[in-house]
Amino acid sequence: MKAKIETGSKTYTVDLSKPLDISLSLRGDSKNPLAWYLDAPEIKPVKNGNFIGKVSEGASVNFNNISFNPHGHGTHTECVGHITRDFFSINQTLKDFFFSAKLISVEPEKIGEDQVISEEQLRAKFAKNEAEALIIRTLPNYIEKRSRKYSHTNWPYLEEAAARYIRECGVKHLLIDLPSVDKEKDGGKLLAHKSFWNYPKNINFDATITELVYVSNNIVDGEYLLNLQIASFENDATPSKPVLYKIQQ
């Protein structure tokens, strides 16, 4: 089903019947990806006296409680409220949901014990005002990312200058297939978060970061239309479902 969708100053023609989902689903088992030293999320039927909220246990409906953390258990979108003393909600921050986007693949550079995505690498693949959203797929891109246990792995991260370059290019929505744009253990510096949001002096309140996406190798680098879907959580972050659409010529 072809549709014309306007975002910014451009109109894009896309086929809405062919979505490219780049989110990770939330599971209540060991196959769920994990970060930040958390155990797996739990999806369990409500138990109240003799009642068990499960049809196979005799209930009329399935009625589950779900316990999870958006930052550590799957694809999530966060606003600057993630790092501020004052409360800011992603549900109040993100009001538009379609954006021009560019997908790039980057193999982080080895620097000592770290793997770093540098400004120079991004300059070779992305320029100013190319898109409202930038999606970074790190290489190598193994399917094991869908269930990887990231805690204590020192995952790759964006250097501060790289995050600043992304902001200066006019990107409002940054997406990456890692638990964080920052180094796992950085002593709370959060240099990439702060640089992208231009915190604390001239904060980009309408900018978002989406982490723990998964972009299949079948999706080629290039320009797309991004539909950034979120759950209506009044929280600094929410589970999200970013979906790409190929732009029709």
Whole-number percent of the chain with pLDDT over 70: 100
Whether residue 140 is preceded by a cis peptide bond, meaning omega within 30 degrees of 0, is yes
Three-state SS for 175? strand
Please tell me the CATH superfamily of domain 2-24+70-246, with its number: Putative cyclase (3.50.30.50)
Task: Retrieve residue 235's tokens.
Answer: 């929280």
Domain locations in the chain as residue ranges: 2-24+70-246
Torsional sign, CA 128, 186, 215, 9: negative
Residue 211 one-letter amino acid: E
Contact yes or no for 133/100 (Cβ under 8 A): yes
User: Backbone dihedral region of 215: left (phi > 0), alpha (psi from -120 to 50 degrees) or beta?
Assistant: beta
pLDDT value of residue 35: 98
1 band by pLDDT with thresholds 50, 70 and 90: confident
Mean pLDDT, the chain, whole residue set:
97
Note whether 58 and 52 are within 8 A (CB). yes
The answer to whether the CB of 174 falls within 8 A of the CB of 209 is: yes
Q: Helix, strand or coil for residue 67?
A: strand
Q: What angle do CA 182, 212, 199 make, to 5 degrees?
A: 35
**What gap in Å lies between CA 138 and CA 50, rounded to an integer?**
49
Q: Which of 5-14, 117-126, 161-170, 208-217 has the lowest mean pLDDT?
A: 5-14
pTM: 0.97
CA angle in degrees (0–180, nearest 5) for 62-66-68: 160
- DSSP class of residue 236 equals S
pLDDT tens-digit series, residues 11-57: 999 999 999 999 999 999 999 999 999 999 999 999 999 999 999 99
| Angle of CA points 50, 54, 57, to nearest 5° | 60
pLDDT in tens, 77-131: 999 999 999 999 999 999 999 999 999 999 999 999 999 999 999 999 999 999 9
Reported in sequence order, the residue ranges of 9-97 that DSSP labels E, i.e. its strands, are 10-15, 20-21, 42-45, 47-48, 51-52, 64-67, 76-78
Please give the Cα distance from 186 to 43 (Å, whole number). 32
